Amino acid sequence: MNKQPIEQSIREFIAVNLLYSTEEFTLPAEASLLNEGILDSLGVVELVEFVQNHFGIKVAQKEVTPDNFGSVGKLVGFVCGKLDMDKGEIPRDLPS
Amino acid sequence: MPFSKNALKLDPSLETDRIVSFLRKQVLKTMRRSGAVVGISGGVDSAVTLALSVRAFGPEKVLAIMMPDQDSSPVSETLARELAAQYRVETRLENITNALEGFDCYRRRDDAIRRVCPAYDDDKGYKVKIVLPQDLLEEGTLNIFSIVVIAPDGCEEKQPLPRREMLEIIAASNLKQRARMSLLYFHAEARQYAVAGTANKNEHEQGFFVKYGDGGVDLQPIAHLFKTQVYQLADYLQVPEAIQKRTPTTDTYSAPCDQQEFFYRLPFETLDLLWHAKEQGIAVPEVAGVMALSESQVQRVFDDITSKQRTTGYLRLLPPKLEPYKPD
């Protein structure tokens, strides 16, 4: 699975919706979204709603952990795992 | 000093004297106000603040205000009256339900709740509360709020709170604290008193307060104290035992909801010591050994504290402004 478009979508969402920025979100994939103060309780909800709606996956509350949502890299891995599990296709509107 | 489970023990006599001096200096000298108004809820924080204010200004210069609304537990008023009677302080009862109806607080809140839980009906005796996942030590889930609706027959429905509904419920509920702040200032201004805040360190620094609501005060006499230290002062100041033994509650939602459920996710005895250790820069393995926890449990709590402190900075931020204009 090509992870690049997934990572790009997540980065765009964080930049626009969590940081209210017109610039790219350039923090390294492994940087902690929690320790950087990017993800508060509202941001977590927004990010969960985004990955559910954008990638067409279901996220259980027990899956909303730092291991899955704590960094861009972890979230990409989580989404890829879900898409693999569902044998789903990556939605066509993802940026290439 | 090595880290131990006694790290937060204080000398309550010395600390009381220090806070009383602070109150006198700030209120009488700096603010030039002659006494204090304290909103009392029947909880331990406001009880300690009241007791300290009485020591600082005398009972005749302290006014205690009770401000329940339709969702408040009747126990809160009973305990608040017991407290005021013990310290011989004048009280005022200000029921804020009508003011909140004027703000359309309940309808705004309930409309949002019903979009998530359509069965919810306040008039039919349904109760509601907002909770976080519990047991931070055992579960690494992030701080994601759920709503719990309790039917009159006791059946509970728990749903994750979507963003829009979460914002609307919190915004409507915060009208309560802001209505209370307005009344505290009415009474303070009518007597030229100062409003004494009742937030402890946990509430103030982790952002468990409403900006310009319960955070809208003239001074914060106990905001430097961990909750477990507030209990030590309560014992020393002989706060009524029923208040000392009462589980800390939000008293904001109609269903009983303690502060651990709503926000902290840990008992204060554990949270406070871990937070202190983090502040002192004690190494995780040492903390884990003293607290009989795993290193990953300690790290999880450290991360949660960091996250809450960083993401609630807005609440503690004073309105920024520019430097004066300087012509070239």
Do the beta carbons of residue B49 and residue B38 sit within 8 Å? yes
User: What is the pLDDT, as a whole number, of residue A51?
Assistant: 95
pLDDT (average), residues A33-54: 88
A44 occurs within a structural domain: yes
Partner-chain contact A45 B163, CB within 8 Å? yes
ipTM over 0.85: no
Q: At what angle do helices B163-191 and B105-116 cross, to 10 degrees?
A: 160
With cut-offs at 50, 70 and 90, classify the pLDDT of residue A12. very high
A95 occurs within a structural domain: no
Do the beta carbons of residue B37 and residue B63 sit within 8 Å? yes
Tally the domains of chain A. Answer: 1
Minimal Cα–Cα distance from B242 to chain A, Å?
33
Question: In this structure, what CATH number is given to the domain that contains residue A39?
Answer: 1.10.1200.10
User: What is the pLDDT, as a whole number, of residue B286?
Assistant: 96
DSSP B29-53: IIS---SEEEE--SSHHHHHHHHHH
Which is higher by pLDDT, A42 or B226?
A: B226
Q: At residue B68, does pLDDT exceed 50? A: yes
| Per-residue b or e along B41-56, where b marks 16 or more CB atoms closer than 10 Å to that residue's CB | bbbbbbbbbbbbbbbb
Interface of A with B in 48-87 (CB under 8 A): 48-49, 61-62, 64-67, 69
Partner-chain contact B307 A40, CB within 8 Å? yes
A90 occurs within a structural domain: no
Measured between CB atoms, does B280 come within 8 Å of chain A? no
User: What is the pLDDT, as a whole number, of residue B239?
Assistant: 98
Minimal Cα–Cα distance from A10 to chain B, Å?
18
A94 occurs within a structural domain: no
A91 occurs within a structural domain: no
With cut-offs at 50, 70 and 90, classify the pLDDT of residue A95. very low
pTM: 0.87
User: What is the pLDDT, as a whole number, of residue B123?
Assistant: 86
A12 occurs within a structural domain: yes
Q: At residue B185, does pLDDT exceed 50? A: yes
Measured between CB atoms, does B311 come within 8 Å of chain A? yes
Task: Judge residue B285's burial from the number of C-beta atoms within 10 Å of its C-beta, 0-12 exposed, 13-18 middle, 19 or more buried.
Answer: exposed
A92 occurs within a structural domain: no
| Per-residue b or e along B130-150, where b marks 16 or more CB atoms closer than 10 Å to that residue's CB | bbbbeebbeebbbbbbbbbbb
pLDDT tens readout for residues A50-87: 999 999 999 988 899 889 999 999 999 999 999 987 65
Percent of chain B topping pLDDT 90: 73
> Residue A73 has which token pair?
């890299």
- Show Cβ contacts of residue B169 under 8 Å, excluding neighbours closer than 6 positions: B109, B112, B113, B130, B147, B161
User: What is the pLDDT, as a whole number, of residue B300?
Assistant: 86
How far, in Å, CA of B2 to CA of B22, rounded?
30
Chain A residues whose beta carbon lies within 8 Å of the beta carbon of residue B131: none
Q: Which residue has the tokens 């879900």?
A: A82
Do the beta carbons of residue B232 and residue B272 sit within 8 Å? no
Chain B residues whose beta carbon lies within 8 Å of the beta carbon of residue A48: 144, 160
A68 occurs within a structural domain: yes
Q: Which residue has the tokens 């009241």?
A: B50
Task: Judge residue B230's burial from the number of C-beta atoms within 10 Å of its C-beta, 0-12 exposed, 13-18 middle, 19 or more buried.
Answer: buried
User: What is the pLDDT, as a whole number, of residue B245?
Assistant: 93
pLDDT tens readout for residues B231-280: 999 999 999 999 999 988 766 777 766 666 666 678 899 999 999 999 99
Measured between CB atoms, does B133 come within 8 Å of chain A? yes
User: What is the pLDDT, as a whole number, of residue B261?
Assistant: 62
pLDDT (average), residues A18-44: 87
Domain assignment of residue A26, given as a range? 4-85
pLDDT (average), residues B293-307: 89
The mean pLDDT value of chain A amounts to: 86
Q: Tell me if residue B148 falls in helix, strand or coil.
A: strand
The mean pLDDT value of chain B amounts to: 92
pLDDT (average), residues B5-17: 97
